[in-house]
Amino acid sequence: MRKIPNNGNLKMTKVAYPLGLFICLFIYVAYIKWHWASATQAFFSITEVASGARRVQQAHSPPETAARGHEVFYGIMFDAGSTGTRVHIFQFARQPGETPTLTHETFKALKPGLSAYADDVEKSTSGIQELLDVAKQDVPFDFWKATPLVLKATAGLRLLPGEKAQKLLQKVKEVFKASPFLVGDDCVSIMNGTDEGVSAWITVNFLTAEDGKELVSPCLSPGFTGEWEHAEITYRISGQKAAVNLHELCASRVSEILRNKVHRTEEVKDVDFYAFSYYYDLAANVGLIDVEKGGSLVVGDFDIAAKYVCRTAETRLQGNPFLCMDLTYISLLLQEFGFPENKVLKLTRKINNVETSWALGAIFHYIDSLSRQKRSAL
């Protein structure tokens, strides 16, 4: 996305560039839901690690637990955010051949965040150790060696200079290595925004599964049912039953997800925008633009298309069962950003015969960083 000044010169503005990246990030997260199998692999691998502790668990669990054949295992996740560090200690149970279910969570948070210790990394260890002690109290002794311990840092460390962030992560890793839990080489890392969004998507689907194997959405047609297989487990995906107004139900759910997560920017009213990627694909899918040539539309067109697609989905199945959800999401996302309904978006796959993807911007940024490094070395 870029600003087109009145004088005709192409110039990326400070407003359009970060906002464009943010929008693309949200669209990528929406799109990734169809391909989340690889993203969930890390979660399900925990069950494989924990299987080594299964015999120990059966030997030390209450008789009724072992008799039912439950496999119990734990996972410890540190969330190192900008305002504080939080530990989540999860207990799972799984019947043979079934999806794991969350049976208990212990949570504790400490302030400030890790980034506050950027200039004195030694001071960061006491808080980490305090949270580790909570985990040691919560996880039974016999499970310690089989319980994965992981820290993911988000916004706070992403904003630090690379060297300072790495020193903090290395110090945390040293503390983790000295703990009795299962610690891998990748136990400490900075999570990028996309992974954060995908992980949140997995969390929501995991927690809203009715029986651990069925995912129900208010944004899918009431008559829709589908299957998805992962790790030899088949998941049923279906629409919410007895949907009176599919668009209203879907819009209500999407609004809950977006609430307080999107920064409204008044400047979007005065900036010209190009939209591409999944914006383009969706608009072409419902006939808002030409499939090959692209075109222009107003933001309100996405809302009109969403209501129409959702209404028709109530009575007949469609080739793309996620179309109602995606159009509703994009429409509400643009509204949350502050785009007026009559704001024009230009949708195209190429500008000056060059693909409108992230590749050009990424290599330009990389070359620019190399140039700045050379200048600073002189």
Dihedral, CA atoms, 275, 276, 282, 288, nearest 10 degrees? 60
Taking the CA of residue 50 as centre, how many other CA atoms within 13 Å lie in the half-sphere pointing to its CB?
26
Give the span between the Cα atoms of 174 and 171, in whole angstroms. Answer: 5
Q: Is 232 a catalytic residue?
A: no
Element (H, E) at 91: strand 85-94
Q: Give just the sign of the alpha carbon dihedral 83, 148, 173, 29.
A: negative
**Catalytic residue selected from 98, 196, 248, 341:** 196
Give the span between the Cα atoms of 88 and 124, in whole angstroms. Answer: 18
Give the span between the Cα atoms of 354 and 357, in whole angstroms. Answer: 9
Q: Cite the DSSP H helix spans in the chain.
A: 16-32, 37-50, 54-60, 63-67, 124-138, 155-158, 162-177, 193-208, 246-258, 278-285, 299-313, 323-337, 358-377
| Residue 246 near residue 311 (C-beta atoms within 8 A) | yes
Distance of CA 111 to the CA centre of its chain: 24
Query: Which residues carry out catalysis?
Result: 196
